[in-house]
Amino acid sequence: MMDCFEPPGARASVVLIHGGGFVVGSRRMRPIRLLAARLVEAGLAVCAIDYRLGLRISGALDDTCSAYEAWARRAPDRDRISLVGLSAGGYLAYAAASRVPAVRVACIYGLLEIPWRAPLADPAQPTLLLHGDADRLVQVAQAERAAARRVARSLPTELAIYPKAGHGFMRTPGATFDRAAQAIATWCSSP
């Protein structure tokens, strides 16, 4: 399932992937709705998706890739699609980037390490990592380690750490939400 928003003259597209720890959530969650609206206002076409829940991570990844392919068939700019994920959706965005031709990746407080799963391969695409330094659910160290690995491999990487921001800072409009939404819109619009 997906909800797609196509503003006239969209200059790039985004596949937006919700969080929820792989067990809850949907494309209609508040953070997804808020971010989708902000990205559309910034002139990006957005496709917010759902995926299988219940810790079936390989199924969720398959669903993410299938949704990307479906969106790519109708997106206004098929060659400029980015993957953007929040929390568990950040994991799916990061993992899907090795399987689909996304041009950019953005992980917002992304769950990038799961102890019982093999480490994710770092995607070659330019990657933006956004995290709060007060996140008690997904430690900021995950984003810092991913950024350090990527930089050591000369992969295009940007890390933005938001002071005093906890997990889920995209749930509520405000200064942190505004800065993060603008960073994502700029990142996904870049040539």
Q: What are residue 107's DSSP bridge partners?
A: 85, 129
Of 73, 72, 75, 119, nearest in space to 94 by CA:
119
pTM over 0.95: yes
Q: What is the pLDDT along the chain (191 residues), one digit of tens a residue?
A: 899 999 999 989 999 999 999 999 999 999 999 999 999 999 999 999 999 999 789 999 999 999 999 999 999 888 899 999 999 999 999 999 999 999 999 999 999 999 999 999 999 999 999 999 999 999 999 999 999 999 999 999 999 999 999 999 999 999 999 999 999 999 999 98
Of 134, 158, 133, 164, nearest in space to 146 by CA:
158
Q: Identify whether the C-beta of residue 103 lies closer than 8 Å to the C-beta of residue 47.
A: no
Q: Which CATH code fits 2-189?
A: 3.40.50.1820
Burial of residue 135, with CB atoms counted within 10 A of its CB: 0-12 exposed, 13-18 middle, 19 or more buried:
buried
